[in-house]
Chains A and B, each alone.
Chain A
Amino acid sequence: MLSRLAARSAAVVAQQNHGARVCVVAPSRLFHCSGQHGRPIEPLPEEGGKVRMGVFPEEWFQFFYKKTGVTGPYVFGTGLLATLMSKEYIIVNNEFIAGGIFVGFVVYCVRNFGPTVATYADKLRQERVDFIDNKKGRFLTDCENAIETEKKEQWRAEGVDYLFEAKKANVAMQLETAYRERVHEVSNAVKRRLDYQLDVENTQRRMAQEHMADWVVNNVVSSITPQQEKEAIAKCIEDLKRMAKAS
């Protein structure tokens, strides 16, 4: 990675080759965070560097292998340990024993539960990677959903015509209703006026009749003389007598 960077910025390389090792401020580019790289990022290595016995790098054993063979590093390690313990540079006290037991316990845990934990961690990492890799798929799904929604909205927009027709019919019906209400109102008003005229006519005629009747009766009554009254009473008595005889 560093060599690639140096190959790109020739000025840095030139200064380094001339021994001018000042603190060159390289162009600050974050390889795994920015979009500035011009080539695909190389994938991460699958496995880390190899170690033996948990802590010792494989390269150390290769370094010994060229000179001493396979058993060389083990012999060296055992001899070194024996020397250190013999000279009591490694002091065997209670803490040494406790540490040894603790290391044994850690080794036991790693041997027993390590594979399970590793599988679980791999699963988590794979889920995360799949989620990130599937960004395109998720984007496509979103776009398809948007298309579906758009089509549905267009289908709904067609229905707006029917809705508009219905509203127009509704408005026409309201207009008709208002028109008829007003016609009804006019006819009612006309009828009321006619009824009034009729009542006025009737009342006048009735009052005229009553007045004429009163006038006739009054004149008739006033025209009756006392002589006529006596005659009428006598006639009545005579009639009564005759009726009494007849019965």
Chain B
Amino acid sequence: MGLSASQIPEAPKKDLPLWDVKLGELPKWVGRRDISPTGVYFAFKRAELKFHNKYVHVKRGGIAPYAMMLTGYCIISYIWSYDHLKHDMLRKHH
């Protein structure tokens, strides 16, 4: 990962996770985020570490994390290549 776990600063602990945030409070929640490049980088690193600790760094892991990453990659690459793929549309009149 490049960084060891101890080198990634921890997120503010008292804040809510994103799923528990009400829609109305979302702008304030985003305002409390650290959106500097360093902060975003470390947020991604935290997410990566959390993902690894949950799915990869276990005694008897499966292919689930790889399947998830592969699925995500498929979706993203589908979105990226949609401009080419949309010429294969079957509809004719709208």
Using a CB–CB distance below 8 Å, which chain A residues touch chain B? 1-3, 5-6, 12, 16, 21, 23-31, 43-49, 51, 54-55, 57, 63, 88-89, 91-93, 95, 110, 114, 118, 122, 125
Contact = CB atoms under 8 A, between A and B. Distances in A.
A44 B57 contact: yes
A28 B58 contact: no
Interface in B27-62: 34, 38-39, 46, 49, 53-62
Given A48-B61, A51-B68, A125-B59, A88 B91 contact: yes
A68 to B, nearest CB: 15
A46 B6 contact: no
8 contacts: A2-B8, A12-B9, A16-B10, A28-B4, A44-B58, A48-B54, A55-B64, A88-B89
A49 B6 contact: no
Main secondary structure of the interface of B (DSSP, over half): helix
Contacts of B56: 48
Contacts of A93: 85, 88
Contacts, number: 97
A9 B76 CA distance: 40
A84 to B, nearest CB: 10
Nearest to B54: A49
User: B interface, how many residues as a size bin?
Assistant: 35 or more
Counting chain A CB atoms within 10 Å of each CB, the highest count among B9, B13, B34, B64 belongs to B9
Given A49-B54, A55-B68, A88-B89, A16 B12 contact: yes
A45 B88 contact: no
Given A28-B4, A44-B58, A93-B85, A3 B67 contact: no
A2 B7 CA distance: 9
Contact of A24 (B9, B55, B71, B90): B9
A130 to B, nearest CB: 13
A21 B9 contact: yes
A92 B90 contact: yes
A29 B38 contact: no
B19 interface: yes
Contact of A3 (B10, B58, B82): B10
A31 B6 contact: yes
A45 B38 contact: no
A16 B68 contact: no
